[in-house]
Amino acid sequence: MSSREYQVVLTPEVEGGYSVTVPELPGCTSQGETRAEALAMIREAIELYLESLEAHGDPIPAPIEIERVTVDA
């Protein structure tokens, strides 16, 4: 199996901990009490997501570009 790299979005939660999403993999989400735990959990979620795609013969989504934009607010 080859290595793949995915961008993840960590969102601090009001009640504590982090939720994590993977923009390239719709529906692939996880959470953790600490940043490190959240990242470990999303790695596992990504692996399972990719295994499921492979098992069903679905294509692996192509990488997307993420850019930061500054606005006056």
Q: Long-range contacts: 61-68, Cβ < 8 Å, 24+? A: 61/24, 61/25, 62/24, 63/24, 64/7, 64/23, 64/24, 66/7, 66/23
Predicted structure pTM score: 0.85
Q: Domain spans of the chain?
A: 9-55
Predicted confidence at residue 4, as pLDDT, reads 86
Predicted confidence at residue 57, as pLDDT, reads 96
Cα separation, 21 vs 29, whole angstroms? 5
Predicted confidence at residue 13, as pLDDT, reads 97
Cα separation, 52 vs 47, whole angstroms? 9
Give per-residue pLDDT as tens, 6-63. Answer: 999 999 999 999 999 999 999 999 999 999 999 999 999 999 999 999 999 999 988 7
- Tell me if 50 sits within 8 A of 14, measured CB to CB: no
